[in-house]
Amino acid sequence: MLFRLGKKKSQEVAPQPWMEEPYFSTFIKQGIVWSELVKPPYGVTQHEWLATNTRPFFNHINLIIAALSGSCTEQRCPSVPAGPRIEYFWLDGKGKKLKRLSAPQYFDYMDSFITEQLNNETLFPTKHGNPFPKDFIAICKKIYRLLFTAFTHVYLNHFEEVAALKLVAHLNTIFAHFIHFVDAYSLLDSKDYTTLDSYRCKILNLK
Ligand SMILES: [Zn+2]
């Protein structure tokens, strides 16, 4: 049901064009105040706010993955690398078995897993009066960790295609929003960030 980092050795310094101009400051709109964007509107609880934002993040990264379906294929991505030294595996069943999947398979599994969670009324209640479960934050963390692996694979393995498809502004905008949101609600741990940590720090310095 989930993923795991594998084959982690030393970090290799590879070119990271998304860290540099003209890409770094490319957003669909300039002047976005990220710290304001992630605050809940008055009267909305934190749980409601997390639930409201999770589906759009999921949908947006899914659109990017769909746009990359011509290059993120079984042949090109027979596993799910995140750069040259790290690979994501799917953690099967009750976390007992690691499964190596191709990237398209991995994103299918991710899609099914997250859709199932979001559509489960006991986990993401939509009807008035239905309470959030006690482990709601833990469920959100699993989903955000998975979404982060998708962003990682896209940036580290498909950025050239993203640029060729003229989707850098979309990707950067979603990712910057995601990173500020995750930071505001502590949805990921520092170990989750290793693949894009310096990029994340640079984004968080955007006010
Ligand atoms: Zn791929």
- Write down the pLDDT at residue 92: 76
Residue 15 lies in a domain: no
pLDDT averaged over every residue in the chain: 89
Weakest-pLDDT range from 7-16, 65-74, 129-138, 184-193 = 7-16
> Is 49 contained in some domain?
no
Angle, helix 168-184 to helix 46-67, in steps of 10 degrees: 150
For the chain, where are the alpha helices, taking DSSP H only? 34-37, 46-67, 103-118, 136-164, 168-184, 197-204
Does 160 map to a domain? yes
Full residue range of the structural domain in which residue 84 is found: 2-6+64-204
Q: Which residues are annotated as a binding site for Zn(2+)?
A: 72, 77, 153, 158
134 CA distance to ligand 1 centroid (A)? 35
Residue 1's pLDDT band (cuts 50, 70, 90)? very low
Q: Is residue 141 part of a domain?
A: yes
| Domain assignment present for 139 | yes
- Binding residues, as ranges, are 72, 77, 153, 158
- Cα–ligand 1 centroid distance for 151 (angstroms): 11
Residue 153 maps to a domain: yes
Examine residue 121 and state whether it is found in any structural domain, yes or no: yes
Domain count within the chain: 1
pTM: predicted TM-score of the whole model, two decimal places: 0.91
Q: What is the CATH number of the domain that holds 144?
A: 1.20.140.30
Provide the β-strand partners of residue 91: 2, 98
Give domain status of residue 168, yes or no. Answer: yes
